[in-house]
Amino acid sequence: MPRGIELHIPFPSRISPDADRAGERHLIWPRSHGLLNDEQAVRKHEEARYAELAARFYPDATGADLDLGVDLMSWFFVFDDLFDGPEGEDPAAAQALVDSTMEALRLPVRSSDAPVVRAFSDLWRRSREGMSAQWRRRAAEHWRAYLQGYVTEAAHRQRGVMPTVEEHLRLRRETIGVHPTVDLAERIGRFEVPGRIHTAPWATEMRAIAAEVDTIHNDLCSVEKEEARGEMHNLLLILERRGHRTRAEGVEEMRRMIRSRTERFLVLESRLPGLCDSSRLTEAERVPVFRFTDALRAVMRGDYDWAEGSGRYTSAGHPGEPYASPGTSDGREATR
């Protein structure tokens, strides 16, 4: 990750008190499903510190609940890495993998299915335990949108088409994985957002903000690796090539984009009591609404706190060089 960039993520840092225990056992599940086939894969997985990410996304979770979150993070990144290979350049191959994964949402897996599909089936089984039929339908739709986005990205690569800023953010709102991550926060926390609230414009906007903040941050972190392999789905590269910005200008624009979104999130959050009143929510219905917004805070702040110490965005688990940012000598904002 490029260091020296401070972003406006105005939410408190939090982490599960069970993070160390979860970290000690986090390789068990991906190994049991054949997702880590050699020592290089194991080392890469360890250096990425996915257990820490889950502990920040689900800071109140402990025990088996936190383990479920850790396993989801392991799966997300293993699946994503598959598209660094042939599937990422071939829409037909991408669609075949996506279709077999989608089938696991409604059908038992087969022994012939790929390990990543069998692992996903296990996650889906554990994730839906105790959840309502309405939640299951909604979560399944989020998964389908997430998965299908990989096919769209593969089609862009095959055609050599770099998306616009708006196209990129719209696509990455799905493929960044925030929606399934927040759905799992409901499962882990044993609550459900009422359906009429989940589809309300303000709730939809808050979810979109969280997804875009994580997308912009992710693109800052991964730009060197993605540029090296010719990736076109990166906002900084899009700003440089389609927007004709220098790298420093693109970084500053992305910092402004994150600030505007987190400030808008705080405005919407401040209106929650009145929105609950106008929606005539009972006291019992209000609790999951505030827990939902807290989960969105966690995915924005947790991603930010995790990334710089993770080996995910470097080739050898070591942080990248800092970018200089106008206004300060070391490239960091004077205030957050």
Tens-place pLDDT, residues 202-233? 999 999 999 999 999 999 999 999 999 889 99
Q: Give the pTM.
A: 0.91
For the segment 261-271, what is each residue's pLDDT rounded down to a tens digit?
999 999 999 99
- The residues, any chain, with a CB within 8 Å of residue 96's CB and separated by 6 or more, are none
> Is residue 325's pLDDT more than 80?
no
Binning pLDDT at 50, 70 and 90, where does residue 85 land?
Answer: confident
Binning pLDDT at 50, 70 and 90, where does residue 313 land?
Answer: confident
pLDDT number for residue 253: 97
For the segment 36-49, what is each residue's pLDDT rounded down to a tens digit?
999 999 999 999 99
Establish how many alpha carbons lie within 13 A of residue 116's alpha carbon, considering only the half-sphere containing its beta carbon.
21
Residue 263 lies in a domain: yes
- The residues, any chain, with a CB within 8 Å of residue 35's CB and separated by 6 or more, are 41, 74, 75, 78, 115, 116, 119
Q: Is 12 helix (H, G, I), strand (E, B) or coil?
A: coil
Strand partners, 2: 320
Residue 146 lies in a domain: no
Q: Is 121 helix (H, G, I), strand (E, B) or coil?
A: helix
CA Rg, the chain, in Å?
19
Residue 57 lies in a domain: no
For the segment 174-209, what is each residue's pLDDT rounded down to a tens digit?
999 999 999 999 999 999 999 889 999 999 999 999
Percent of the chain that is helix, strand, coil (3-state, to 5): 65, 0, 35
Residue 30 lies in a domain: no
Residue 25 lies in a domain: no
> Is residue 82's pLDDT more than 80?
yes
Number of CB atoms found within 10 A of residue 25's CB = 11
Mean pLDDT, the chain, rounded, equals 91
Residue for token digits 């479920």?
68
Number of CB atoms found within 10 A of residue 208's CB = 17
Establish how many alpha carbons lie within 13 A of residue 129's alpha carbon, considering only the half-sphere containing its beta carbon.
11
Domain count, the chain: 1
Amino acid, res. 158: Q
Residue 238 lies in a domain: yes
Residue 4 lies in a domain: no
Containing structural domain, residue 236 = 162-316
Binning pLDDT at 50, 70 and 90, where does residue 3 land?
Answer: low
Burial 179-204 (b: 16+ CB within 10 A, else e): bbbbbbbbbbbeebbbeebbebeebe
For the segment 139-154, what is each residue's pLDDT rounded down to a tens digit?
999 999 999 999 999 9
In this structure, are residues 144 and 105 in contact, taking their beta carbons and an 8 Å threshold?
Answer: yes
Determine what percent of the chain is predicted with pLDDT higher than 70.
92
Strand partners, 320: 2
Provide the CATH number for the domain around residue 283.
Answer: 1.10.600.10
pLDDT number for residue 4: 61
pLDDT number for residue 218: 96
User: Across the chain, which distance is largest between two alpha carbons, in Å?
Assistant: 58
Gap between the Cα atoms of 327 and 304, Å rounded = 22
Residue 8 lies in a domain: no
